[in-house]
A and B are shown apart, each in its own frame.
Chain A
Amino acid sequence: MKSPTVKPPVVLMEDVVVRAGGRTLLAVEHFAVHAGERVALVGANGAGKSTLLALLAALALPGAQVQGRVQVLGRRVDAPQALSRAQWRAWRAEVGVLMQGLHLVPRLSALDNVLVGALARPGLPAWRSWARLYPAALRAEALQALAGLGLAAQAGQRTERLSGGERQKVAVARLALQRAPLLLADEPTAALDPASTALVLAELRHLAEAATLISVVHDAALLPALAERVVGLAGGRIVFDRPRAVLDAEQLRGLYDPRLDLVAAN
């Protein structure tokens, strides 16, 4: 469907196997995502969705061994020694991650937490970022990001005093300021009520206009808002990979069939 382009894919995984404690968490022969795509990863708990996302975000997988080739934004991320520290930082700045484990900084205001997203911007003098004395234009941008998610009034509040849903929105605003070309979102609306879900989905859709978005989704109702392509995982393997338009509900339900784990394990 997609015509071959000269540009390399944003994400390329080949013959990747992740093992931990004698268990295979992930076994992917080939998986590629091209610039501008919006991909959703679906599957039951333990299917390997979060492992896949953590691998792409180069987050530590405690006690896991990784084999194969993982390439993100043109850089090999399966071999930590291949990149210098500065190259790693430059790469992290280009990958925006929205995950449960990536907390907001307690004691800092919501606004200061949003501004954390802009720390790697080239024009920002180091001393300003150390003292948290940001240029007015940047502060205005952060405030606008919060206002867009309905949090203008909470901008000055410390984040430990915000509700779970408000925190998730602050994390989305932080992601917005990062302006990353690749976005990885693990259940971006898990803690949100319906109204907030709509706001966050709209913001993610807006961010994805200028970026590639890979998200982990549990709720099939969210698929239309987040993805054109759906990748089903079971027992660490890709079971299907197809456009959302031709996906049927039966296929999605089959993913959560407990018997599938046994099939994939063999």
Chain B
Amino acid sequence: MLNATLPGPDRARLGFVALVLAYALLVAACAATLAAAGDLSLGRQPWDNLLRSLAEFSRPSFLDAWFGPERLEYRSDDGTLLRVENRREVEAAWLAGLGRATWVTFQIATLGTLGAAVLALPLAVLAARNLHAPWPLAVAARRLLDALRAVHTLVFGLVLVGIVGLGPTAGILAIALHSAGTLGKLFAESIESLDRGAVQAVRATGATPLQVFFQAVWPAVLPQAVSHHLYVWEFNIRDSTILGLIGAGGLGLLISEAVSLFQWGRLATLIIVVIALVVAFDALSRRIRTALA
């Protein structure tokens, strides 16, 4: 009753206040229930742990390959010499493995994204509203794209590791399936943004269907499709660094190893590599995408 008498903008403002109140209630409920269950704690010695981790983090392990001790002795409590290792050699070998893992991560992201594009293209053509595909097919394609997008790459990965076994193949397929959902939606949107007036104008000059495609459809859709592909590729390079956590190959395996063994120095090296890889590829991809726009 009250709402009906208020003018539009006032009603909208009232609605916004109600929305903010509902959000505040939700946040309070989340925090209160966690605190009541005793799960809102920072552990027993957060400060000590933080300082210890930081100290090790500040000395990334790759430095050992050049500056590490050449003769590191492991002794038992009574002083017996157990083992001697050359830290430089050990670290150099680990770095070589890291290089291979980085390459695997890049391979997973690249092939996975390409697979996603191949899967996405026919689905996008069916899903694009302006192409008027038969409606059962169009609805099926749209729902399938929604479903693929809803399931996270890691979940696909867990399932696929069980099917195709451990290794990069599972990672590639996981990325292809999840990203097909994202790319399919983006492709469909770029097809939908096609200028029908331009298509009609080219057709009106007596052009053949292939000429219409190459003159009016291709120049509009191709740069967008390439740009979307690069964007998802970029995203997948980030995503594939953690796929190894579930045994799908690449850097993630080394990350989980380093964490399990509390080797913070190695974790620091790994994080540096991940950052360098992602930042470098982002910069390159962004440059190409701006050039295409």
Contact = CB atoms under 8 A, between A and B. Distances in A.
Given A101-B200, A116-B215, A106 B205 contact: no
Contact of A57 (B198, B204, B215, B219): B204
Interface string A109-120: 000000011011
A249 interface: no
Nearest to A57: B204
Contacts of A178: 205-206
Nearest to A171: B201
Q: What DSSP secondary structure best describes chain B's contact surface?
A: helix
Interface string B181-217: 0000000000000010110111111111011001110
A103 B208 contact: no
Given A103-B195, A132-B215, A119 B207 contact: yes
Interface stretch (A13-21, A91-99, A140-148, A224-232): A91-99
B210 to A, nearest CB: 6
Given A116-B215, A119-B207, A119-B211, A102 B200 contact: yes
A119 B200 CA distance: 14
A176 B204 CA distance: 14
A6 B241 CA distance: 80
B206 A93 contact: yes
A96 to B, nearest CB: 8
A119 B197 contact: no
Interface residues of B, number: 20
Given A105-B195, A107-B219, A92 B201 contact: no
Interface string B77-103: 000000000000000000000000000
A174 interface: yes
A174 B205 contact: yes
A153 B32 CA distance: 68
**9 tightest Cβ-Cβ pairs between the two chains A and B:** A93-B206, A120-B206, A103-B197, A102-B201, A92-B206, A130-B214, A119-B207, A105-B198, A103-B198
Interface of A: 57, 59, 89-95, 97, 101-108, 116-117, 119-120, 126, 129-132, 171, 174, 178
Given A59-B200, A178-B205, 6 more contacts: A57-B204, A107-B219, A116-B215, A120-B207, A131-B214, A132-B215
